[in-house]
């Protein structure tokens, strides 16, 4: 499993719309993401800055599989209009500098 961190930024004034759109994602997108190996995806927002944490079997394989997903294409079109610059699917995530893993059995 891979743990990937991503950073994106919202256009000014898009904060409420972004939060509303993400309150529930389409069931088809959820199913496509899970079948592409996504185990978990969490997004935090600080003002206009977004931080994504993804747990996925293989991030590159997930990107390849989702590029042909109609549900993902529709979602990206909807979300990218809210972002400063489109989300680049070739983004490999933030570089890990340091981590303190939880002791066995603790989360």
Is residue 54 in a domain?
yes
Residue 17: what pLDDT?
Answer: 97
CB-based contact 63:33 (threshold 8 Å): no
Is residue 10 in a domain?
yes
Q: What is the CATH number of the domain that holds 23?
A: 3.30.70.1090
Q: What is the mean pLDDT of residues 29-53?
A: 97
Task: Give 90-105 pLDDT, tens digit per residue.
Answer: 677 888 888 887 776 6
Is residue 88 in a domain?
no
Overall pTM surpassing 0.75 (yes/no): yes
Is residue 91 in a domain?
no
Residue environment code for 5-33, b if the CB has 16+ CB neighbours within 10 A, otherwise e: ebebebeeebeeebeeeeeeeeeebeebb
Is residue 64 in a domain?
yes
Is residue 86 in a domain?
no
Residue 90: what pLDDT?
Answer: 67
CB-based contact 90:3 (threshold 8 Å): no
Whether 78 shows a pLDDT value over 90: the answer reads yes
Whether 85 shows a pLDDT value over 80: the answer reads no
Is residue 92 in a domain?
no
State how many domains the chain has.
Answer: 1
Is residue 95 in a domain?
no
Domain that holds residue 59: 2-80
């Amino acid at each position: 499993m891979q743990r990937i961190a991503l950073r994106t930024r919202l256009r000014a004034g898009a904060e409420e719309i972004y939060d509303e759109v993400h309150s529930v994602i389409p069931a088809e997108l959820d199913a496509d993401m899970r079948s592409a190996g996504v185990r978990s995806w969490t997004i935090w927002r600080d003002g206009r800055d977004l931080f994504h944490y993804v747990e996925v079997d293989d991030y590159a394989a997930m990107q390849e599989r989702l590029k042909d997903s109609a549900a993902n294409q529709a979602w990206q079109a909807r979300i990218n209009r809210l972002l400063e610059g489109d989300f680049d699917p070739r983004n490999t995530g933030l570089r890990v500098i340091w981590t303190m893993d939880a002791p066995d059995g603790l989360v």
